[in-house]
Structure 1
Amino acid sequence: MIEKVKTFMKEHQLLEANSNVLVGVSGGPDSMALLHFFSIIREVWNLNVIAVTVDHQLRGEESLDDLAYVRQMCDQWNIQFVGTSLDVPSYKKEKQMGTQEAARNLRYGFFEKQMKSFDADVLALGHHGDDQIETVIMALARTADPGALSGIPVKRDFANGMIIRPFLCTTKDELEAYCVQQQIIPRRDPSNDETVYTRNFFRKQLLPLLKDRNPNIHNTVQHLSEVLQEDERFLLDEAAEMVQENVKMDHELNKISFDSTVFSSFPYSLQRRAYHLILNYLYKKWPKNLSYVHEQQFFDLLHRTSGNTHIDFPYNLKLNNMYGTFVLFFPEEQPEAPSVPAVMEIPSETNWYNGTITACYTDDPGEQSEMSYACGKEEVALPLHVRTRRNGDRMCWKGLQGSKKLKDIFIDAKVPLTERDKWPVVVDNNGTVLWLVGLKKRIPEVQREYDTYIQLKFEKRNSQEGQHA
């Protein structure tokens, strides 16, 4: 077994001579075999080996005995030892997470500190081929993400170095036999025999059936894992480039937008990975209830070619496809639009949720813009009002036969649904719509000179995505 592991390490370039090596040790057969293996090769490779051990405070005195056992074996093998006790039960309660997740978070946090403290090059962990099979089967049972099916990586970046797993080429039985051969009497965790944990269920119920069909399945799955990981790395790099070149990220507002047509023009495999990269950027913590169903909803929304449509994701993430512009964002708290009309005295300033409307009299309104409106004082019924749209609102202007619904004007202008109920509408005292701010103005068929004009101007406070007014 030793020669097989050495060959595996060289093939995957897991370790260089003269390295500082941390070995994660629990006291069980896998990690004790790993620690012994490094004690054998350390002189030839000129390695500085340090054992790091964690008591998770889950099994009382028994787990403390595990810690003491590892310390004792390190003394016997002349290996430096670093151990700690971590309060997993309290952390689990505080963070409201499962036991396994809480233990892993604290354990890896401790490992990271030790990596930096010893300026270690690698952290070696004792995962073996059976672990790899279990991981792939578990992923197959609970996810449709191809990346998860690639299993446990042989090596990956961690802290200031790498995590390596030299035993992925071995089986559990081989490691047990190695312990017997080297006269190692490991500690046993009784929870490993309980099928209440998902991994233990697969280990006890399914793995023996697969090995019965194919005793060499650990090598088959390891080869599959490495191939999938290589493919996934390439596709993720391509997807990252796609996102960088075609997706706009607003870091301040934690918002992402892109052109739906351009996004859809890439191969579907890149679109899927870009989708996951985008969510990884937006979510600080991945929602547990986010599934492949949401992915399907994302792509259904992406391929809608007309209209203004939206869906909601967990944690109040909003996805809008606004006439070909796809936007993902967390809505900010904004002042509500006035629920009743605001009377516009002249002169006056009227505050709106996203700006201010000023009104004054003038004898020369001059040239007008989208954000201004002028009319003769005698044309309208005073006082003027500003309000939001109402069902049945219509307006007319010069050259238009009849009138048009405000709803249709919004659609033609591709105004987002989220903005339409906040949009300022200026009406006179008879309810005649004079100005749909920034979009349309009521201009009489017959225009004439007036001694006094009413001049309105709208000044925005903030620019909003997809907003015209």
Structure 2
Amino acid sequence: MKGIIKKIIDSKTIKHGDTIIVGFSGGPDSLTLLHALDSVKEVLGLSIYAAHINHQIRPVDCDKEAEHARDICEELGIPFKLVICDCKVLAKLEKVSEEEAGRKIRYKAFSDMANEIEQCGTSRDKIKIAIAQNSDDQVETVLFHILRGTAVRGLTGIPISRLDECGYMVIRPLLGISRTEIEEYVDDYDLKPNIDKSNEKPIYSRNKIRLELIPELEREYNPSLRKAVLRLSKSAACDDEYMMNEAMKLYDESISENHEYGIYKIRAAHGALKRRIATIMLEAEGVHPTYELVNSIVGIINSDNPSASYNLPGGKVAERRYDNLVFSQEKHGDDSYTESESWDITDISISSISIAEYLGIRGGLNGSKEKRALYAAFDLDKLIRERGLETEIVCATNVRSQLGINLRTRKSGDYIRTGNGSKKLQDFLVDEKVPKSSRDEIKLAVIGSEILWILPDEMFRSERYKIKGKYSQKYQIDDSSERVLFLELR
């Protein structure tokens, strides 16, 4: 059935030469997506991987589904990764629904897999995480948002593409394809998908919307309900995109350093723009923009009181300082910028190893279930050449002193190499919403002012940086690497 394949290509979510990680439950939707992509991978030069998440919600069934998903991938010759995580336990620990816990588990697993692929040399902009949501899922999502109470943005539903928290592109190539079309594709190619029987039970909110609410609305009010909701979603997305672009212009003009925003022009803007700007501000400050919080920020902006303020979650405060809106956090001790000193840490090792040793370590880390040490690895010879040293005089036993590697906290002028240049440490910390009072606690492995490794820290916004830290991209290991600079935090 060429219709679905054409629609996937027409969605423009996939480009020639992409590496695609398919979130593969083995159900009808993800099997259709995997099968369709596999059928055009040679023509489009695609590299395809499959990631299956066993949530352990239905232990026996989930195990069988995982094995069936693996069998499908083996038959197609597609690399398969299985992640097992107890969704119920995570839901209780984080006090969220099992649906939300499952979503967090899935997207973290997809990002981790994308990171592994990137570390093996694939360019980040070529890596895409493909989720098999269809147009019926879009209808259900919009109705779900309406029932919960939503602004215009909620009416836009599921975006066809977006960046995840780790900066990887998430795409939904089936979003313009109906469930009926998918079922026809499965029948035409005699595919054997997993069938999650819990999807046919009204035990979750979305299941109830799909199984009870939508059929009732179609039967009693509008037989073309799905088309009507999709039209609403597309219209809302168009309007919201324009309004957000206008809001971003004012936001960009207002923002300054140290979490301060000039609000002179914002005060004169239309209320619809003010609400969006308030939403952007809260998200930039790491605060979830609920209806009440957005109203509170707009209230401060509109207030005649030049010292109006509001206490936000997480100990943060939004306060007017005449024509500025300032977000601050309760300070602990002196918040001044201080020149750092080296920090003494005995549980980090710095060594030179061969590429064979490194690949062996990496294989052990990837293959073992034990909790392993954190590490950073760089092409040692690239480092040596960058500093104009002779390869022969840098020996494995004295690599730390010969390269001048220091372990310390921040200094003025620190920077880290990125894929397209470099970035000031100050800018990185601001982007990660690290409070000013905590920035002097961030640990670094440096050569002069150049950072090799920003060590992991709970203050970072990104889950990836919290767990692994941030590595310099200047000295990445590739097929030509022979010696590896290996830093290990035990």
Question: 2:132 aligns to what?
Answer: 126
Q: Give the aligned partner of residue 340 of structure 2.
A: none
> For residues 3 and 216 of structure 1, what CA distance do their matches in structure 2 show?
26
Matched, 1:279 2:279: no
Give the letter for the 2:275 counterpart.
Answer: R
The yes-or-no answer on 1:198 pairing with 2:202 is no
1:135 CA drift (Å): 0.6
Instruction: Detail structure 1 runs of 4+ shifted over 6 Å in the superposition.
Output: none
Distance 1:42 1:329 in 2: 50
Q: Does the C-alpha gap of structure 1 residues 296 and 160 become closer, same or farther in structure 2, counting only changes over 3 Å?
A: closer
1:137 matches 2:118? no
User: What is aligned with 1:237?
Assistant: 245
CA change 1:135–1:11 in 2 (3 A) is same
Q: Which runs of 5+ in 1 are unaligned?
A: 336-469
| Distance in 2 (alpha carbons) for counterparts of 1:55 and 1:294 | 36
Deviates more, 1:12-21 or 1:209-218: 209-218
Contact 1:116 1:160 in 2 (8 A): no
Secondary structure, counterpart of 1:248 in structure 2 = coil
The residue that corresponds to 2:22 in the other structure is 23
- Contact 2:278–2:298 under 8 Å retained in 1: no
One-letter amino acid of the counterpart of residue 282, structure 2 = L
In structure 2, the partner of 1:320 is 319
Aligned to 2:185: 178
Provide, for residues 428-449 of structure 1, a one-character-per-residue CA deviation record: whole Å limited to 9, x for no partner. Answer: xxxxxxxxxxxxxxxxxxxxxx
CA distance 1:306–1:48, shift in 2 (3 Å) = closer
Deviations 1:215-254 (A, max 9, x none): 554454444434433443343333233123223341xxxx
- Report how many residues are paired: 325
TM-score (norm 2): 0.60
What TM-score do the two structures reach when normalised by structure 1?
A: 0.62
Q: 1:320-367: per-residue Cα shift (whole Å, max 9, x none)?
A: 3455554443333589xxxxxxxxxxxxxxxxxxxxxxxxxxxxxxxx
Which range moved further: 173-182 or 221-230?
Answer: 221-230
Match of 1:107 in 2: 106
| Aligned counterparts of 1:49 and 1:325: Cα–Cα separation in 2 | 49
- The equivalent of 1:71 in structure 2 is 70
More helix by share: 2
* Superposed CA offset, 1:140-181 (max 9, x none): 122332212111111223456532222222222332233233
Q: Secondary structure of the residue that 2:56 maps to in structure 1?
A: coil
Contact 2:254-2:261 within 8 A present in 1 as well: no
SS, match of residue 184 in structure 1: coil
Asked if structure 2 preserves the Cα contact closer than 8 Å seen for 1:132 and 1:218, the reply is no
> Which whole-Å CA distance do the structure 2 matches of 1:306 and 1:234 have between them?
32
After superposition, the CA RMSD in angstroms is 2.8
Classify 1:121/1:312 alpha carbon distance in 2 versus 1 (closer, same or farther; 3 Å). Answer: closer
TM superposition shift of 1:305: 1.9
Query: Which blocks of at least 5 consecutive residues in structure 2 are unaligned?
Result: 335-490
The aligned counterpart of 1:256 is 260
Question: CA 1:225–1:3 in 2, change beyond 3 Å: closer, same or farther?
Answer: farther
Q: Answer whether contact 1:57 1:88 (CA < 8 A) is retained.
A: yes
SS in structure 2 of the partner of residue 332 of structure 1 = coil
Aligned residue number for residue 156 of structure 1:
162
In the aligned structure 2, how far is the partner of 1:246 from the partner of 1:80?
48
d(CA) in 2 for partners of 1:70, 1:38:
16
**Structure 2 CA distance for aligned equivalents of residues 56 and 111 of structure 1:** 14
2:273 equivalent among 270, 275, 280 = 270
User: Is 1:80 matched with 2:79?
Assistant: yes
Whole-Å separation in 1 of the counterparts to 2:191 and 2:15: 27
**Could you say if the C-alpha distance between residues 309 and 45 of structure 1 is closer, same or farther in structure 2, counting changes exceeding 3 Å?**
closer
